[in-house]
A and B are shown apart, each in its own frame.
Chain A
Amino acid sequence: MMIDKGTLWFVIIGLGIGSFGLRFVFTGLVGDREMPAWLLRHLRYTAVAILPALVVPQVFAPAATGGQFDPPRFAAAAVALTVGIITKNVLLAIISGAATLYGLLWLLG
């Protein structure tokens, strides 16, 4: 699964310029002008929509198992999300998820 080097540098530089643009657009360029309310309302939900959309297909059909449903990986995802929601602690959620994954892989392995 090698990543093409040309693509990689294109992505690094493109993402660098794009990220700087996003960070600079208001502080640097727009100043104090107001943004339309409907746009702000949609922007509020970008991260919370894109991240689950990226992850959920992997949770049900992980690439590592050739797209087959995998109980340890599914359980690890469920635990990470649940611990995250309850504790709001990102690190604790990651550690719990990882512990679940390795525990089940070891038990079922």
Chain B
Amino acid sequence: MTITTTKSAFRKGLADAAPFVLVIIPFSSLFGILATEAGLSVFETLAFSVVVIAGAAQFTALQLMQEHAPTAIVLASALAVNLRMAMYSASLTPYIGAAPLWQRAFAAYLTVDQSYVCSMAQYEKQPDMTIPQRMSYFFGCVTPIVPLWYLFTLVGALLGAQIPDSWALDFALPITFLAMIAPMFRTPAHVVAALVASVASLATAGIPYSLGLIVAGVVGMMAGAQTEVLLDRRSEGAA
């Protein structure tokens, strides 16, 4: 279907993002459950999701606060997990950079994995879209996602208080993270980054204030970047 009006752009965005509902509902519920398990009130849990809307960063902050890591480390780690949002922002700019500032500000707040993936795919597929059509498409994409993110955080928070300790929910976070990492292994460089960061995290586990996490993350990033350079060089050599 080719988009011809801003209204059809909104509807197409809505339809394209609809399957993500199946991911959003369990994730936001899980955050609500784990946050209340960690001692947050229902209001605090909901505020967290509304203010931040970034699943992985929220889970990271929650995990580190439970370990009583220093606040600076909590913020630095959660923001590091969210650095990809800066990359999304960078790659969306050529397409929507000319929209009015207030629209770009809304779009920035609503930039999540799903709205980014959908929008980029559509913008590349149909380069002749106008700026208002692109913005409508973007806001169409977030319509089935963000309200459900809030709603099911609330549902999870309300359920969370009733779940007994014997359910071993302590390990829901590591499992969730590992499940989220796997699809990120797009190239050998990504795998190297993850492996090096993992080994480094074990080697630096003794460093106080959870600083080992930052060290391991940076070492992993450098390993990934270096691997990319080496692989590029090799493929150029072969060509």
Residues of A within 8 A of B (CB): 1-3, 5, 7-16, 18-20, 22-28, 30-32, 35, 38, 40-64, 73, 76-77, 80-81, 83-85, 88-91, 93-94, 97-98, 101-102, 105
Contact = CB atoms under 8 A, between A and B. Distances in A.
A23 B170 contact: no
Contact of A35 (B26, B90, B109): B90
Interface stretch (B3-11, B74-82, B148-156): B74-82
B164 to A, nearest CB: 13
Interface in B183-202: 183-185, 189-190, 193-198, 200-202
Given A32-B97, A58-B174, A90-B23, A12 B44 contact: yes
Contact of B178 (A8, A11, A81): A81
A15 B73 CA distance: 12
A27 B214 CA distance: 27
A42 B227 CA distance: 11
B221 interface: yes
A52 B198 contact: yes
Contacts of B75: 11, 14-15, 18
A48 B205 contact: no
A20 to B, nearest CB: 6
Contacts of B126: none
Interface residues of B, number: 95
Interface of B: 22-23, 26, 38-40, 44, 47-48, 51-54, 56-58, 60-61, 63, 65-68, 71, 74-75, 77-90, 92-94, 96-97, 101, 104-105, 107-109, 111, 168, 170-185, 189-190, 193-198, 200-202, 205, 212-213, 216-225, 228-229
Contacts of B63: 54
B225 A46 contact: no
Given A8-B65, A23-B85, A57-B205, 16 more contacts: A8-B40, A15-B61, A23-B111, A45-B220, A45-B221, A45-B225, A46-B83, A46-B84, A47-B81, A51-B60, A51-B181, A55-B181, A62-B174, A76-B175, A84-B181, A84-B182
Contact of B179 (A5, A30, A49, A94): A94
